[in-house]
Structure 1
């Protein structure tokens, strides 16, 4: 089935006006005349049979249909612009686009990046944050997520580390509050939470403590805030042990007890199995898996 689309120059004019908010700005952006933009918008509206703009008190305004149409059109042109930029830069095969969860990126990946750049100084790595519960990122080569471990090999996915959590605090907190000798002592301490009480509830329950006793203390909105707060000596946090291994080795954080909550989830590295990975992407992927194996070992 052949899907008919409006003329490209008319779509380009619509995208520019919708993005910039005025005919004049769109004309400047596309290096055409004001009248050319007007003509192309009329052509698009005639083609669609739907008005996309109306004259309002502050000038040209999008109709409801125009607002709906703006989303896929602007997103498509933005995606094309990004991909075009990367394709032009990829002639030397030297770029990698990586999406990672914020805490993984800040606490685990970035401290290890100097090693990668020392080995591969010509490869450019663009690292962005990814939202939780989203697995695929079309604009990226690799993405790192926290996913359920099915123990079934999956094309385009490799495990990095498990999601076991342990209770930790900073030496500053222990200096101020005194030693924490057994799990039940935590009922009298400042607990730090990421988004909900659930992880601490599970840890308390696994250690024979009423889980409701964990439902107090600061609730922080993401892992980076949680890590910053526990490093500052604000309290005790449950954190994925694999992520904070360097802090434990440098004694900026102290693991209070060996008992940990094993999760069905873990950190995984993913890529599109239908895409042939460039040499730079393969290099970064293999380096990342090597680092993860060394951290586990």
Structure 2
């Protein structure tokens, strides 16, 4: 007779801080929105999050961020002493093994810092001392111990496999300025998800949310308050284009209810939320 045992197996799952998007097993990204931050101050803000201004090391890495950066010109972590790529460095100290300047070389028309093009994924120079409207932070994903009940028998041990990501909904609590998105964005989410997002402004200010992409069959209900009893601002669905849908709160909180109408999963949606 087989003896059944219930074992609790701990395995590591890579996680991101609130408001950060996990693109790979090891890295998380977010955009901050501002009109008063210089390169040095932006780097300091990223360091407070445990990372740096983003370094980019391949086309695939940069392209995976296109949904987050589209329509914006965020600063990244490169700084160049002159128009030779050999004299450019990343603030995180990583090797410069990829660049996407027009013509293949830095053209420092505005200064030695670098930001992304708003819709072409190219890199352009920027004055390091000038205020920027946004900047891209990159932090390492951290490991969390997930306890998984596993049924085992004395006849045949059950193998364990590391979890690549946590399925289902992302974390619920967010603080502006931040980026929110469907599970696994920009990869497809699993079918049947229904996720809630609770967003709070800093210093009791008001919020604005900008939707940049919404899958045709999905819906996001935007509530003007801290729960689903609040007034509905919008039912957002089926958006895919260059224009941005933007809504404002009357108070310091917003609640989002993401309802996946598709039975097969889909790409989902992405939106930026910041203080006003």
In terms of fraction of residues, the more strand-rich structure is: 2
Q: Normalized against structure 1, the TM-score is what?
A: 0.22
Q: Normalized against structure 2, the TM-score is what?
A: 0.23
In terms of fraction of residues, the more helix-rich structure is: 1
